[in-house]
Structure 1
Amino acid sequence: MKYRNAVLFVVLAAAWGSAFTAIRAGLEFFPPVLFAALRYDLAGVIMLGYAVYATDRWRPRDRSEWLVVAVGGVFLIAAYHAFLFVGEQGTTSAAAAVVVSLSPVLTTGFARALLPDERLTTLGLLGLAIGFVGVVVLTDPDPDNLATTRTVSLGLVFLATLSFAFGSVLTRRIEDDLPIETMEAWSMCLGALLMHGLSLRLGERLASAEWTAEGMIALGYLSLVASAAGFLIYFDLLDRLGPIEINLVSYAAPFAAAVTGVVFLAETPTAATAAGFALICCGFALIKREAIQEELQSVRGRGVSGD
């Protein structure tokens, strides 16, 4: 299929962007951390089954492989989703998606600080600063009252994004041969277990969940479409497009979040949301300017060879 990668990219952006709307909708019926844990109970089992089917290494074997699973479970799944689900209680789907779109910028910043072969140039530092300014513009804090519900909620979403970016870099520091599908599957299972423990610690109870049709649709969508199917598409595109192009999903997802938020939840994106997103995109472009330029040259080369 000629446009296969483009179609899958759009599908992935739509699935991951609309996930923010599904989270917001489901929070009406489930306690936040428990909701996140239930999402990955199902998604983790599905991904583990896929790892058994698709790889020859369906479980970790040595200390380094279990360590990378632990990092993934703690930072990429548990911390990221606990902060995100709690934070989304007080903000819109689009605003949360825009803050999360800062992840590639933060990942590059952490990589420059923690990986010995990475360096951040002056323009890269400027891009990182612009990205942070974008979050401040999006949050639009009131200096006289920084503890508003929206500001605190977006702050929690920002902590979620920090957790994901930090965990992504830590996994790169660990030398292991574990297939990414297997790492993701076990990280999901571990993350779900950790979130169940945190949920109990916070006093959340399964009995307080409302098992309505709307709640079950939101949970099923997040588990089956956004998590299981979404990650399978991600792995496929990662092999075909590479990490630079696939990172652009983070910048397409907020559009899907905004549209689905308007359609299903009657949310209204603000001018601050749009301005913050534009600044974060500018920051990403500055930080990744060389990689983007190389990727564009590669795309042009493929286009010429295909004529």
Structure 2
Amino acid sequence: MTLAEAIDLTIKSKREQRRDAALRKLEFARKCVDAYCGAASVSLSDIDESWVESFSQWLISTRGLSPNSRATYLRAIYSALRFVARQGENVDLAAIPVGLRTNSPALSAPSPATVTVRKADDKPHWFAMKCRATDSEEMAHRIADEFPDVEVFRTDVERIVDTPSGKHRRMIELLKDIMFFRTTLQICQRMKSAYHSVAYIFDYPSEGSRKMAVVSDMDMKMFMYFNDIAPERILLYFPDEAMRTTISAGTPVTITDGRFRGATGTVISGDTSTPLEATVAVSFPLLGIAASAPIPWRFLQAQN
């Protein structure tokens, strides 16, 4: 299987699931792979550290992407490899180059003439926007066209709803006309000026002026968790999340948050290298039964 074929399969899945943010990143990554590889796309077995480094340099030098934007599209490519591996393709994720799995390829040192000083406010943050003259879906497409490096997260999820003809799956907008996006402060300010007539980007008064209201990474992650956003979608924005636990299968744990807060149980499955959730078995000795449920790793604390 080639890399282009793997991305195409993932794009088809994301399109069926209406995961617009992930879809846009994959489509852009696909175009970059085509432009870089030409007609003969690279085989998955040929993706090594050298290829990742060369492709990363090309994204910056030819496409003009920032290091943060480059990492975004490398994450999208890795998500495609994870997807085809789950579909039964012979893909050894452990053999994928470290540079692609960690999203921080070890690039060759740039020449002194190309070195730039990174400003403190160049770090991307989450911001929130309320759409006024258009809906969030249309606004997301506009941002994708006019600010392609901005990551957009819409608050729609799939829910089963009752209708006169029975139960059906529908996409429901959790926060009406509210959309989150991730970018630098400078670009956020440009967006506020560009979209002032159609959308309000949240800010607040401070010392006689107004500052952009930053949504913390922690708050954003919790929002995704509590609204049942798919694990793959969270990992696209927070790729290091799955690496933050030493808990493994068989560990007695206490659940620290969520609907099962305070319960104790035992982890019965869960791979800390990729998913965000472990399956935890909670016993009810007096009833003689046990129940299991998927719990985010962040909500688990190992018992002493």
- TM-score bracket, shorter-length normalisation: under 0.3
User: When the two structures are superposed, what TM-score results if normalisation uses the length of structure 1?
Assistant: 0.25
User: When the two structures are superposed, what TM-score results if normalisation uses the length of structure 2?
Assistant: 0.25
| Larger radius of gyration between Structure 1 and Structure 2 | 2
Greater length-normalized contact order (CA 8 Å, ≥ 6 residues apart)? 1
Q: Whose strand proportion is higher, 1 or 2?
A: 2
Q: Whose helix proportion is higher, 1 or 2?
A: 1
